[in-house]
Amino acid sequence: MFIGGEIVMPSNTTALMIAKYFIWKANKEGVKLTNKKLQKLIYYAQAWNMVFKNKPLFDDKIEAWIHGPAVFSIYQEYKKYGFSTINEKVEDIEVVDIPSKDVLDKVWNTYKGYDAKYLEILTHSETPWQKARAHLDVNESSKAIISLEDMKKYYSALLEDQKGKDK
């Protein structure tokens, strides 16, 4: 796979592994985590890993759904919880080999305090989701893929803007 002119090898990490990590973090910290919020955390983990590590964290595609970015397999795994808090125990051993914990922890610490609705609105205001849904009506279902390159470009620019403000 080519990203930004570089060959990027497929990851052995799955979106489900990243989901388990965030559920584990939520359980440890007593944070309520719904399927919708989990989807947004997974999306931001992928986006920020593209920025900081210049490679995808996982190979699962992120689709531009009506309610924001989503990974189909994660939706299927956790849809049984509906809009309720995911009530799944994740053992420490299940998250030992998760890569990019530094990125995941940054994502967790940045977004954990927001509810799913806020994160939905936030992703709707950002270019990668908008671009993937550009040809769709607002309430039209979609399997349109959010581009990794669009994520990297958009969030890299956000980071640069923030660095400029911090000077």
In tens, the pLDDT along 104-147 reads: 999 999 999 999 999 999 999 999 999 999 999 989 999 999 99
Q: Is residue 2 part of a domain?
A: no
pLDDT at 80 over 90: yes
Query: Which residues form the domain of 79?
Result: 15-166
Q: Is residue 156 part of a domain?
A: yes
**Structural domains in the chain (count):** 1
Q: Is residue 70 part of a domain?
A: yes
Q: Is residue 10 part of a domain?
A: no
pTM of the model: 0.91
Confidence of residue 7 (pLDDT cuts 50, 70, 90): very low
DSSP secondary structure, the chain, as one string: -EETTEE-PPPS--HHHHHHHHHHHHHHHT----HHHHHHHHHHHHHHHHHHHSS-S--S--EEETTEEE-HHHHHHHGGGTTSPP-----GGGGTT-S-HHHHHHHHHHHTTS-HHHHHHHHHTSHHHHHHTTTS-TT----PBPPHHHHHHHHHHHHHHHHHHH-
Q: Is residue 7 part of a domain?
A: no
- Residue-wise pLDDT for 30-72, tens only, equals 999 999 999 999 999 999 999 999 999 999 999 999 999 999 9
Q: Is residue 79 part of a domain?
A: yes
Q: Is residue 161 part of a domain?
A: yes
Q: What per-residue confidence (pLDDT) applies to 2?
A: 46
Q: Is residue 59 part of a domain?
A: yes
